[in-house]
Amino acid sequence: MERLGVGIGWRPEIAEAVERMPGVDWVEIVSENVCPGHLPESLRRLRERGTTVVPHGVSLGLGGAERPDERRLKALAERAEALGSPLVSEHIAFVRAGGAPTGSPRLEAGHLLPVPRTRDALDVLCENVRIAQEALPVPLALENIAALLTWPDEELTEGQFLYELADRTGVRLLIDVANLHTNHVNRGEDPARALAELPLEAIAYVHVAGGFERDGVWHDSHAHPVPQPVLGILADLASRVSPPGVLLERDENFPEPAELERELGAIRKVVEPGRPPAVREPYEAVRAPGAADAHATGPARQRLALAQTALLSALVAGTPVPEGFDRARMGVQARALAAKRADVVAKVAPELPVLLGAGYRAAFLAYARTRPMSGGHRQDALDFVASLLRAGRPDDPAVRRALREWWLERSGPAPRSGGPAARVARAARKVLLRR
């Protein structure tokens, strides 16, 4: 596995700072946030300097019941090729459910949700990983996620689940030590046990991030400094194996560059202390054809689809909480999903918080309680505005007119023009909005 060194998550808000930051060996980008044909100049300059760039996907949903979407796989592959990346990474999570397999509406979570650690889920995940591996031009690494809730009747620990996944597919692992800390606080899982059970030699790289605790629940915010317990887990990992790469994640509430540099220095001090890691047996990936589908996955996919749809529907559509789930934790997760949804919509449609001012967030959360997301966040923004307009809101006529214009500009197949056909289409949409 290629040695990556110590790196940081590249984000537009800190792009210039990252370019000037000493000791950054590599960067990771959110794959869905860049276009291969129009790479940001900052990334181009980093590549020209020889800095490795790794695309990190968030929308594949390899832990979902359906097979991976070919278009999303192609998009991830295109970004890896455009950036000359040595590998790509994704998550062990599901992000959507419902649809044809369940006879129910298709639902989008808008965020990463945990996969049940069951044999059914493992069989499906392994087959999905093999499909992804065949479609990608470079190796794939998968990340353990943070979870606010626990599936009932799980059959494997996190370490066992990840070990079998790597053993059966040969996929590399992206171990997020902040997520191990999150699962320790929220689910009572011992990070040391998880590390002891992992095939650590399968690690591609490691994530380190901060969060905060509220009412006994740890939130993996990526918007706070890295706490000492997370560095402690990183030290435990580094005592067992020398990770090829370690990366600092920060997605919001960006501090001054000097603070990020200090955090990178603290991470480097932990993983490069000058002591050799404990000796372990070499990890040999097993990728025998058909290993992941030794059992027919059709019935497993159906069972997993029903379970994931019931969970996601309870979280985003207000249906009853499935049996065995903690209702309080379900409420925390539902609120977290709605808040994340509001934040992302504010980023993809920054005009809306400006137009609605301080009332944006309350209005969006009220909308989200009754309107599950069925498409992407841009469609969610359009649906939100349409719901406001149908209800005759907001009260200020000037703001309503501005929102109507915003919606009309973006709801059609092409930008507005002055032609007769465009005027007819706009008039029709105005009529629909008045209904």
Q: Look at the pTM and tell me if it is higher than 0.95.
A: no
Q: Could you give the C-alpha distances from 7 to 29, 141, 268, 320, in angstroms and in order?
A: 11, 16, 10, 43
| For residues 293-306, average pLDDT | 82
Question: What's the token pair of residue 184?
Answer: 């320790």
- Residue 174, pLDDT score: 97
- Residue 198 is classified by DSSP as S
SS3 47: helix
- Residue 296, pLDDT score: 67
Beta-carbon contacts of 66 under 8 Å, excluding residues fewer than 6 positions away, are: 96, 99, 101, 301, 305
Query: Of 1, 24, 63, 31, which is closest to residue 308 (Cα–Cα)?
Result: 63
Q: CA-to-CA distance for 328 and 426, rounded, in angstroms?
A: 45
- Over residues 69-105, the pLDDT tens digits come to 999 999 999 999 999 999 999 999 999 999 888 888 8
| For residues 252-266, average pLDDT | 93
E runs forming strands in 128-222: 140-143, 172-176, 203-208, 212-214, 217-219
Q: CA-to-CA distance for 178 and 144, rounded, in angstroms?
A: 10
Among the residue ranges 94-108, 154-168, 266-280, 377-391, the one predicted with the least confidence is 266-280
Q: CA-to-CA distance for 51 and 33, rounded, in angstroms?
A: 19
Strands 5-9 and 245-248: parallel
